[in-house]
A = this chain, B = another copy of it.
Amino acid sequence: MFSSIKLNEDEKVYIQIKNYIKDMILRGMLQKDEKLPSTRELSNIIDVSRNTVVNAYEYLKEEGFIYTVRGKGAFVAYSKITSQEIWNIDWENRLTDYAKKAENMDIVKHEKVWTKGMISFKSIAPDNNLFDIEDFKRAFLNIISLEGDKILNYGYAKGYKYLIEYLMEYMKNKGVDVKNKDILITNGFTEGFEIVLSSLTKEGDNVICENPTHNTAIKIMRLHNLNIIGVNANNNGIQLEDFENKLKKSKAKLIYIIPSYHNPTGMVMSPEKRVKIYEISKKYEIPIVEDGFNEELRYSGAHVSPIAALSGEGNSVIYVGSFSKVLFPGIRIGWVLADKNLISYMESIKRSKNIHTSFLDQAVLYQYLKEGNFDKYMKKARKVYKDKYEFALKCANKYIPCKKVYGEGGLHIFIKLDNLNARTLLDSCCKKNVIFTPGDIFYIDKNGWDTFRLGFSRVEKEDIEKGFKIIGDEIKKLNSIKVVE
């Protein structure tokens, strides 16, 4: 039995021996009180040093699987018990509507997925190749030697103090008056937005947003059973007249707005329009939740303040920011800046949901930022993305026959087709190994069937051109079929 242990080179030998014996015990092949071979015998059988076996036995004893009797040897301490009859539950029948809805709206599960050899324009995640891993490593080593034991133990729900202070300064540098405001650190935008909704809305409440808007925001609002009222934002961004009408009638609890490099349209709201949005919201006393999405990516032109900066000393704008969209999404750090008292409630909600965001990640990010790496990184990233954006725009105009190409920067452009269904197009492009995100998922009504989003951040220029050309060819093909019909 013991001679059949197969040792590999990946793992420490004593761990392999330990696990092998444990497995035999757990599977009932070694019975309770059965004697194990002596360490000398076993070391001969499997041809390892006796010390290694001694070590393995020690851990088995430590973990309660064997016991030793002085002068007699080692014995099995465990007896396997399992229930005789198998008890299976039909979980499908026990799931809540919430679970089914979450699964149903999970685009990762229901949309086309990338397979090898495909050109995918689905992602708007940053390009890994731009990450300055060495700077990140240095920041990690610096902070871990400064306070490694502390940041590896429990922290505070509101977040890592120094990161919060840094972000307060960061928001001040965007023109936001931070007096009487505070910051809650969250696991990215998604959690931040969900906590805002949990604080201020309940089932059936009205909320207002641009239509189209960020699909994850739509998903979260739907999972909260909110009544979503969309303001037309199809052509030149949000329509002010429609906006005011909807505010007037709706008694909405919140307005959700993405002013910069809007997802999916890629539009940037002008400073003048931001002021108007703010003034109208004030008139009807409906607070604004501003999504700081990709605001960091501004390629050119004058600095545009977030709406949160317009409110001055006022407390009526909630700003949800995230580094995940431009820098290290894998570490999931976002923040909510809002009225101090409101943040205090959100802090308790955060604590009830997952105690706090990883303190290691917060501390390393803080150190990375403090060491001045972010400016350096953004300078490089902006240049690369600007270049890609301009190239993508050129290619889109050259190859893709459509009604309009949207997008003023960021990591994606948005296409409105000329009376062609984007999902039909996706099906035929997919056969040619090109995929993208159909636009309908960004709409809260039946619109958007003729639109799609092209993310280019992680696609090489060569493939951008190749992919756009294929999309263009497929459009032409589908149009010619239509004409013939």
Residues of A within 8 A of B (CB): 11-12, 15, 19, 22-23, 26, 59, 62-65, 67, 77-78, 80-83, 85-89, 91-92, 94-100, 102-103, 105-106, 108-109, 123, 125-126, 128-129, 131, 133, 136-137, 140-141, 144, 148-155, 157, 172-173, 175, 177, 186-188, 190-191, 194, 198-202, 216, 219-220, 223, 253, 271, 275, 278-279, 282, 285, 287, 298, 300-305, 309-316, 324, 328-332, 339, 341-342, 344-349, 351-361, 364, 370, 372, 375, 378-379, 382
Contacts and interface: CB of A to CB of B under 8 A. Distances in A.
Contacts of A275: 81, 83
A198 B99 contact: yes
A59 B152 contact: no
B102 A311 contact: no
A423 B96 CA distance: 40
A316 B88 contact: yes
A315 B152 contact: no
A458 to B, nearest CB: 9
- Main SS at interface, chain A: helix
Nearest to A150: B128
Nearest to A62: B379
A90 B343 CA distance: 13
B188 A355 contact: yes
Contact of A282 (B65, B87, B349, B372): B87
Contacts of A352: 102, 105-106, 190, 194, 216, 219-220, 223
A228 B128 CA distance: 47
A278 B83 contact: yes
9 contacts: A26-B175, A59-B375, A82-B309, A103-B345, A136-B152, A137-B148, A190-B355, A330-B360, A332-B355
A100 B345 contact: yes
A99 B59 contact: no
Contacts of A91: 315, 339, 341-342, 345
B348 A303 contact: no
A97 B200 CA distance: 9
B339 A356 contact: no
A275 to B, nearest CB: 6
A112 to B, nearest CB: 17
A285 to B, nearest CB: 7
A143 B328 CA distance: 15
A359 B331 contact: yes
A125 B154 contact: yes
Contacts of A347: 106
A94 B360 contact: no
A302 B345 contact: no
A87 B316 contact: yes
Contacts of A345: 91, 95, 99-100, 102-103
Contacts of A103: 344-345, 348
B187 A354 contact: yes
Nearest to A174: B26
A265 to B, nearest CB: 21
In this complex, which of A108, A271, A303 has the most chain B Cβ atoms within 10 angstroms of its Cβ? A303
B330 A77 contact: no
Nearest to A60: B303
Contacts of A191: 353-354
Contact of A302 (B67, B136, B153, B194): B67
A62 B301 CA distance: 9
Contacts of A65: 302-303
9 tightest Cβ-Cβ pairs between the two chains A and B: A64-B303, A128-B149, A187-B354, A330-B359, A106-B348, A82-B312, A77-B302, A191-B354, A103-B348
Interface centre among A12, A59, A300, A358 (most CB of B within 10 A): A358
